[in-house]
Structure 1
Amino acid sequence: MGGAVSGRVALVTGGTRGVGAGVARALAEAGAEVVVCARRPPEVPLPGVEFRAVDLRDRAAVYDFVGGLPRLDVLVNNVGGSPYRPLGGGADVERHVRVVELNLITPLTVSLAAYEHLKRARGSVVMIGSVSGSRPSPGTAAYGAAKAGLEHLARSMAVEWAPEVRVNTLVVGMVRTEQSHLHYGGVDGVEAVARTVPAGRLAEPGDVGGAVVFLASDAAAYVSGASLLVHGGGEWPAFLDAATANKGGGDGG
């Protein structure tokens, strides 16, 4: 039985773990032929997914790899990372620059390398963005700035590459992955953070994967230049917990 993206070839950058692995699984289950690329292979096998070793920070290697693909219908720019790096305090500026390069310049490079493939296929690009691109991100400011730039890049790319190539962004909130404890602490920390989300839980990688399948499918044929929020309703407004008057309602603000 065919899936939503049956017969299409999809490339997921950094798709060996976490969100990327969830995206790769979802695309494969929906019928796509999926290739993931990263420096290291997945620790957990991804059924039906081909791995290719590529250093995505090496632009020449990216062009050689993408140019050598026989076909490409869907590009998912997932590669990225948000190491905790506060501003100031004598921090090495190069460390922040590397974060911007990984989260913004690398997706731009892969997209440009893939353009001719995608144009021939009348394909699509999905950028994996973040809510950090639209809110203050203390401790990960360079990451937030890069994700804001990525969303803007997608909008401009959608106009320049229309009508042959559709380009959209998934603005992703907090996701439960094998590295969640590094950001939120242990089980108690993850559960406490989950309670701040209206949906009552963190996203699973498959939630992001399902949204990617939609944007890559014909169901989204008229969707381009869009930013789709995948964040479980966002965050409960802190002022509501701080307010002491008129708990039952108010005139908003």
Structure 2
Amino acid sequence: MAVITDLSGSVAVVTGGTRGVGAGITRALLEAGAEVVTCARRAPDEPAEAAGRTARFLPVDLREPAAVTDLFDRVRADHGRLDLLVNNAGGTPFRMLRDGGARQQARVVELNLLAPLTTSLAAYEVMRHQSGGGTIIMIGSVSGTRPSPGSAAYGAAKAGLDNLARSMAVEWAPKVRVNTLVLGMVRTELSPLHYGDEDGIAAVGRTVPLGRLAEPADVGDACVFLASDRAAYISGASLPVHGGGERPAFLDAATVNHTPSEGNTP
């Protein structure tokens, strides 16, 4: 990977880069040679490490615009530049719309859409003044492209995030490239809460065409590619990282087990 996607000398910020998918992204960037700054509200028990190198952690509440501006001012002052922002921080509890008030749903949108907007604006102010510009990567979700019962506000926010990235890619070109990774199911330390024990996780993985859930490293490798010179002409794109997506439910519900003739497929 280092041969074709060497990020040595570059500086990256990964929001929520201390655990789960974010930690996988951080480790992949470290392996590719980047200096990595992670940020979250709370410090991790252990800093992310890879290839004998350690990510730096800075605390910040991404929903506070002034704090976000201060964060990127500090990164520029300490590291001299900013080459990559990965907007990874986000998430939601499982909550049907009828069970959550408007304020609770609004906070989900705030974290998953407004916070990346705030962070991107602050990063752009650094990138646009430096030679080489920079790259911004949004971590999206298949929830933004299909119905998401139990996480409707999250899905709506992720749909908006993808559209936001496309608009940024037009407005900020050619100085800054902006792309989105559209993630499917990823195996993290929280997977047992959603899918149960190892047998449950394996069963869910078998519903994916590639036969398994993604690993955080899979997402990290995609980020390294989009941040590298190998992706220099890619901007405004949405790259699915979902193992082939989801098998259509009607195929399992059908009682006739054969390939439909041309023209009869829904």
Q: Report TM bin, short chain.
A: over 0.9
Please give the per-residue CA displacement for 1:99-139, whole angstroms capped at 9, x wherever unaligned.
00000000000000111212224110000000000000000
Instruction: Give the TM-score taking structure 1 as reference length.
Output: 0.96
- Does 1:236 pair with 2:247? yes
Q: 2:65 is matched with which residue?
A: 59
Kindly indicate whether the alpha-carbon contact (under 8 Å) linking 1:175 and 1:202 is maintained by their aligned counterparts in 2. yes
Distance 1:87 1:189 in 2: 26
Q: 1:7 is matched with which residue?
A: 9
Q: In the TM superposition, what is the alpha-carbon distance from 1:188 to its structure 2 partner? A: 2.3
Q: 1:40 is matched with which residue?
A: 42
Q: 2:24 is matched with which residue?
A: 22
- State the one-letter code of the partner of 1:37: C
Instruction: Give the TM-score taking structure 2 as reference length.
Output: 0.91
Q: In the TM superposition, what is the alpha-carbon distance from 1:45 to its structure 2 partner? A: 3.1
Q: 2:113 is matched with which residue?
A: 104
Query: 1:20-169 to 2 correspondence within 5 Å?
Result: 20-47=22-49, 48-70=54-76, 71-89=81-99, 91-119=100-128, 120=130, 121-169=132-180
Distance 1:50 1:141 in 2: 34
Q: Identity, % of aligned pairs?
A: 66
Kindly indicate whether the alpha-carbon contact (under 8 Å) linking 1:67 and 1:114 is maintained by their aligned counterparts in 2. no
Distance 2:177 2:139 in 1: 14
Stretches of structure 1 lacking an aligned partner (at least 5 in a row):
none
Stretches of structure 2 lacking an aligned partner (at least 5 in a row):
none
Distance 1:210 1:188 in 2: 27
- Residue 38 of structure 2 aligns to a residue in which SS? strand
